[in-house]
A and B are shown apart, each in its own frame.
Chain A
Amino acid sequence: MFKKILFATSGSPCCDAAARVAFDMAVRYNAELFVFHVLGVPSRGFSHVVVDVRTGEKVELDADYIAWVQEELKNTYERQLRSGARCTIEAVVGLPHREILRKARQEDVDIIVMGASTTGCEGDSEAYPKHFAGSTLQQVAKASKAPVLVVNRPAASFWGGFSTIVFGADFSRASEYAFQFALKTARELGAKLYVFHAVDIESQHGLISQQEIDDRMLEARDRIRRKYLLQAKGYKDVSADVWEGIPYVEIVKYARERQADLIVMAHHSRVTSDGALGRTLEQVLLRASCPVVSVNRPDKVVDND
């Protein structure tokens, strides 16, 4: 399941929670962990000055500086490194999302672990200081073949291992891959899987009648049964629920009630022109009290055997 994990970090406290999850996963599932830091963007061509992603200062780049950053990462994760994870630390220069995707492809990782955003991060004291996901995450989540696991709030990192998974269903194409991933994870880890859909009651003009809500919920249950549950075949620990409300609120609420330790969702339900994260997913991954996985492609999800 998780043989190779890529933990993409800015090395700042915002990645603290993601680090906890990444290192914990590596130890728990005996995975190989790549701690990967992109050192800022060349400011012009092949210049030797880079902008440090953390401070925004311009820094003269040389082998020494890279070595120093690597050393810094080692200091940063000193406590976690003692956990016994099989781990390599690497720092490179470039555009963060491009380098992260390249590394993920090159190592053929099973999952990418990231924080939601670095800029504007105020550390642990603020639960979720921003209401939108960072650009690096946006671009990685969009293009990555591997599922992207996001840990935003510190409280989302206190679980340790996945044994209760909520799958947020939206019936899209990508959602099928996301379900495959959720099911596969549940099977391999022996976890409970809850398939959940929230009927959006806000998208219509004015108030909608209770009968319409009821009808749409019935329809959703039926679609869940046909689209997902039938695929689950012999796996017993699957159940489904449909609630109504504002989808992201309902998913966060549902996960809390089920005490879920993982939420799986499709990258986005509709193709938006800019390829941004779906609004529901974005809000869920910022607000959830457990890690959230975004799945956009079938590559690492659908079984080849």
Chain B
Amino acid sequence: MAKKILIIDDDPNIVTYLEDIFQDNGYATCKATDGADAMDVVRSERPDLITLDLEMPKEWGPRFYRALTQDEEFSHIPVIVISGLAGNKYAIPKAVASFTKPFDRDELLKVVKETIG
């Protein structure tokens, strides 16, 4: 079965873009448009990897990440930060990788492949 990636971003254009990339490379995707809803999606979809935007209208990325890591069941899910904010690599130091928008597609796919195959 295809590995599933959860895309968390509030910009629909970027969600679509990431869906395109991942689906074209044989991954399944699901999405959440805010940190606040993302935990529910994690529980129902049980993704293998998460891409996380930092700035979102209701709940920002770091809070979601904290909630994720505090849940034994999901704390192991690797997270890749994709954000337009400068200094984003300091926001979630334990993320697998941090990408600054606009990001290098091949770099991202390489990291995803290395992480979940």
Contacts and interface: CB of A to CB of B under 8 A. Distances in A.
Interface residues of A, number: 17
Contact of B87 (A154, A161, A259): A154
A158 B55 contact: yes
Interface residues of B, number: 17
A105 B74 CA distance: 47
A123 B85 CA distance: 12
B87 A261 contact: no
A159 B93 contact: no
A205 to B, nearest CB: 35
A52 interface: no
Interface in B32-82: 54-55, 59-63, 65-66, 69
A155 B90 contact: yes
A28 to B, nearest CB: 10
A158 B93 contact: no
B108 to A, nearest CB: 21
Nearest to B65: A259
Interface in B64-116: 65-66, 69, 85-88, 90-91, 93
Contacts of A256: 93
Contacts of B65: 259
A289 interface: yes
A99 interface: no
A117 B5 CA distance: 41
B69 to A, nearest CB: 7
Contacts of B60: 158-160
Contact of B90 (A153, A159, A163): A153
Given A124-B86, A125-B86, A158 B66 contact: no
A153 B63 contact: no
Contacts of A154: 85-87, 90
Contacts of A218: none
Nearest to B83: A158
Nearest to B58: A160
A158 B54 contact: yes
Contacts of B69: 259
Interface of A: 123-125, 127, 153-155, 158-161, 163-164, 256, 259, 261, 289
11 contacts: A154-B90, A158-B54, A158-B62, A158-B85, A158-B91, A160-B60, A163-B63, A256-B93, A259-B66, A259-B69, A261-B63
